[in-house]
Chains A and B, each alone.
Chain A
Amino acid sequence: MRSSFIGWVRLFFCWRTKMTDHSQDLKKTPLDSLHRELGAKMVPFAGYDMPVQYPAGVLSEHLHTREQASLFDVSHMGQAAIRGDNPVAALEALVPGDLAALSNGQVRYTMFTNDQGGILDDLMVTRRGDHLFLIVNAACKDQDYALMQAGLAPGNALEIFEDRALLALQGPKAATVLGRLAPAARLLDFMTSEPISVGDIHCIISRSGYSGEDGYEISVPADEADRLARLLLNEDEVRPAGLGARDSLRLEAGLCLYGSDIDETTTPIQAGLIWTISQRRRSEGGFPGAAVIAKEIANGAARKRVGIKPEGKAPARAHTQITDKDGNIIGEITSGGYGPSVSGPVAMGYVKTAFAKPGTPVDLLVRGKAQPAQIFKLPFSEHRYYKG
């Protein structure tokens, strides 16, 4: 048996870095001993030793998240702040997101773009009083920080938080659980953030996540992370979940993974992320690649990110070619695997725009054989974000 498992882990690299993982150089999160205590299988990921699964396994962790609540350690991700004369204007020069419109505590999903309109990384930005709070991908954080340090207008500076952990509590029971420990959490609207204490642990909690379910992302001082994690895991509904389940959950939810579904060669328009660019920013521009993106908005993009549902049982994974029914290549899968909540294979990828309509029949070249599939309107698993 030869397994492509290590290849799967490789997918998660920011394409702007080289692969230079050495086990002895792997960084650890503040929850490292807890993971080992829980029997996690650890793998290298973006330079960190991370839990890919616990003894329950990916399938069980995935299903539990959609049924109750799972706790994920995402402390490898970057947390930072922009402070200064005008953090909003400074960051708007680097992203197409509308940050001026953010109310205090509001969280927005956006991306760093390059001059070709390609995506350098995706990130979450929160307006917090006089500064912006950012969460960036682990694999790209060094490049993102360098980009900001070089690109923020004078009078504004980047502060990197090396001493904070990040936990994600995701699932329909997340609010019930966190509400027991911190009643204010129940009142948080989706995509808003507040400093909220869990007992005597000072956290910054946002109602957001990467699973398609209701849930929270909790920023906590590194030296309190273990205690907080144990408090949450102590609740009956909560089980630990690793990066394996995190990936299958977000794939079913139709959410992009940077380095797989979005990268420097994809524009936000091709990726179906036009909704992240407000009318004001579309007309005013003022971010890298604005002209390219404006042209694509006006004329349409040549290709589009779509869901793809294989008709059989065989999963079709990243880099699988997509053809029309005559065998002509029309696109490629960028993320694919098994969807536990839909009990079958699921995938995302790009196809020529003419083939992007849901229901369009296509073929997938899996191990050299054409497997029938259909274009599918994302998500595979309906979003259940908190609507108040």
Chain B
Amino acid sequence: MSVKFTEEHEWIRVDGDIATVGITDYAQEQLGDVVFVEVPEEGKQLEQGDDAAVVESVKAASEIFAPITGEVTAGNAVLEDAPATINNDAEGDGWIFKMTIVDETELDDLMDTAAYKSYVADLD
């Protein structure tokens, strides 16, 4: 299971044919308390970079983008009643949606763990 990161602070974890997407711990920390999440519907077709989901914190609304092209297979239903799961476990239970992988090479564009860490370090 490999995990990759986007410059927009999404993470994507590949497990066989399905990828799971969420926002990073850094992102949830910047956002503050999450109060509402709009997850994409099953079956939604996403191109890399499309608007995929919305995460609203007390302070602001944030768009989450599709890190790769594919079709949504599931949205995390837990987030409907427990949006704060993203704050508590952004990179685990706070996953936002799952999708198929149309083109594996799109993952090559993304940062690995070390690259993301240093990317974030440069931001602060």
Which of the residues A8, A314, A345 comes within 8 Å of B60, measured between beta carbons?
A8
- B32 lies within 8 A of A57 (CB): yes
- Asked, given contacts A57-B33, A244-B32, whether A3 binds B58 with beta carbons under 8 Å apart, the answer is no
Asked if B8 lies at the interface with its beta carbon under 8 angstroms from chain A, I say yes
Beta-carbon contact of A4 and B33 below 8 Å: no
The listed residue (B55, B59, B80) touching A8 by CB distance below 8 A is B59
Give the residues in chain A near B30, CB-CB below 8 Å: 3, 5
Asked if A222 CB lies within 8 Å of chain B CBs, one says: no
Docked-complex contact B33 and A59, CB < 8 angstroms: yes
Digit string of A51-62 for contact with B (CB within 8 Å is 1, else 0)?
Answer: 011000111101
Q: How long is the Cα–Cα vector from A57 to B59 in the complex, in angstroms? A: 10
For residue B48, give the distance in angstroms from its CB to the closest CB of chain A.
Answer: 15
User: Of all chain B residues, which has the CB nearest A6?
Assistant: B60
Cβ of B15 to closest chain A Cβ, rounded Å: 22
Counting CB contacts under 8 A, is A338 at the interface? yes
Closest-by-CB residue of B relative to A344 is B35
**With an 8 A cutoff between CB atoms, is A337 at the interface?**
yes
The answer, among B9, B31, B35, for a CB contact under 8 Å with A338, is: B35
- The reply to whether the CB of B102 lies closer than 8 angstroms to some CB of chain A is no
Q: Give the distance to chain B from A244, nearest Cβ to Cβ, in Å.
A: 6
Alpha-carbon gap, A88 to B10, bound state (A): 58
Q: Are B58 and A244 in contact (CB under 8 A)?
A: yes
Q: Which residues of B contact A313 (CB under 8 A)?
A: 36, 80
Q: Give the shortest distance, in Å, between A259 (CB) and chain B (any CB).
A: 17
Is A285 part of the binding interface, using a Cβ–Cβ cutoff of 8 Å? no
The number of chain B residues with a CB under 8 A from chain A is: 25
- List residues of chain A with CB within 8 A of the CB of B65: 1-2
Complex interface: chain B residues within 8 A of A5 (CB): 30-31, 59-60
Most chain A beta carbons < 10 A, residue from B9, B56, B59: B59
**Is A315 at the interface (CB under 8 A from chain B)?**
yes
A247 to B23, CA, bound (A): 26
List B contacts of A53 (CB < 8 A): 32
User: Is the pair B36, A345 in contact by a Cβ cutoff of 8 Å?
Assistant: yes
Nearest CB of A to B52, in Å: 10
Smallest beta-carbon distance A340→chain B, Å: 7
Task: Give A334-347 as 1s and 0s: 1 = Cβ < 8 Å from B's Cβ atoms.
Answer: 00011010000100
Within 8 A of B (CB), among A1-49: 1-5, 7-8
Q: Are B59 and A315 interface neighbours, CB within 8 A?
A: no
Given A3-B31, A57-B32, A315-B36, A338-B56 contact (CB < 8 Å): yes
Q: Which residues of B contact A8 (CB under 8 A)?
A: 59-60
Residues of the B chain whose Cβ atoms lie less than 8 Å from the Cβ of A58: 32-33, 57-59
Chain A positions 227-263 with a Cβ under 8 Å from a chain B Cβ: 244, 248
Q: Whole-angstrom distance between the alpha carbons of A58 and B9 in the complex?
A: 22
Q: For B8, what are the chain A residues with a Cβ–Cβ distance below 8 Å?
A: 1-2
Residue of A nearest to B54 (CB): A367
Can you list 28 pairs linking A and B with CB atoms under 8 Å apart?
A: A1-B8, A1-B23, A1-B31, A1-B55, A1-B62, A2-B65, A3-B60, A4-B62, A5-B30, A5-B59, A5-B60, A57-B33, A57-B58, A58-B59, A59-B32, A59-B33, A59-B58, A62-B58, A244-B58, A244-B59, A314-B36, A314-B38, A315-B35, A337-B58, A338-B36, A338-B56, A338-B58, A340-B58
Further 5 A-B residue pairs, CB within 8 A, beyond A315-B61, A317-B61: A1-B55, A1-B64, A57-B58, A313-B80, A367-B38
Question: Could you tell me which A residues sit within 8 Å of B by CB distance?
Answer: 1-5, 7-8, 52-53, 57-60, 62, 244, 248, 313-315, 317, 337-338, 340, 345, 367
| 8 pairs of A and B residues whose beta carbons are closest in the complex | A59-B33, A338-B35, A5-B60, A3-B62, A58-B58, A1-B62, A4-B60, A1-B8
Q: Which positions in B face A, CB cutoff 8 Å?
A: 8-10, 23, 27, 30-33, 35-36, 38, 54-65, 80
